[in-house]
Amino acid sequence: MNIPAPNYTIPNLVLPPGDLWVFGYGSIMWRPGFEHEECCPGRVFSYHRSLCVWSWVHRGTRARPGLVLGLDAGGSCQGMAYRIAADQKAEVADYLYSRELVTDGYQALLHHVHLATGVVTALTFRANRGHPQYAGRLDHRHAADVVGSARGLSGANPEYLDSAVRQLQAMGITDGRLHKINAMVQGRPR
């Protein structure tokens, strides 16, 4: 994949000592793109998964934006937590910054993730509500229309949404809103 030169502000995060945990709630769940020592379900509080970020690069363009998942304020979100060995954490963090922060549509942060074995601090990416790529909550039909016609450097937007829904189903997670939008998109001719 050819990712354009980053146009982001490098986060001023001090990574925790030892191994690095990464929390994925979108494409990182089914396509992490990095080696990890461990992978397990986790949950963050104070944020929920939402189709709330306009995609100008990976699943759309500026002329025809797509929609991708972001962590948005409120609620909780189940996802996957990945443990990266301490000697690989800088490399993985750099990879994730270049993948997720192609623009400033997301903000990197360290957040508590609740695992079956306890709480860890993990690197994750939330929607940047102050950026023009923040779409907020769109009605189902509008979201389906956007997703159904968008394509970016990483592929078609309908494939992204379908992959997200399939991953959530495999994890036993029901997200009625995403399932409904996906059904609307998949039921239309492409």
Q: What residues are labeled active site?
A: 100
The residue whose two tokens read 């982001």 is: 8
CA angle 29, 89, 59 (to 5 degrees): 35
Alpha-carbon distance values, 90 to 12, 28, 138 (Å): 13, 17, 36
User: pLDDT tens-digit profile of 81-137?
Assistant: 999 999 999 999 999 999 999 899 999 999 999 999 999 999 999 999 999 999 999
pLDDT tens profile 27-77: 999 999 999 999 999 999 999 999 999 999 999 999 999 999 999 999 999
Confidence at residue 188, expressed as pLDDT on a 0 to 100 scale: 55
**Cα–Cα distance for residue pair 143/149, rounded to 1 Å:** 10
Domains (range + CATH), the chain: 20-186 (3.10.490.10)
- CA-nearest of 108, 116, 113, 106 to 44 is 113
Contacts (Cβ under 8 Å, ≥6 apart) of 34: 22, 82, 84, 88, 92, 95, 96
> CA–CA separation, 144 vs 93, rounded Å?
32
> Which letter, b or e, does each residue of 57-67 get, where b requires 16 or more Cβ atoms within 10 Å of its Cβ?
bbbbeeeebbb
Q: State the pLDDT at residue 9.
A: 53
Q: With pLDDT > 70 as the criterion, what percentage of the chain qualifies? A: 93
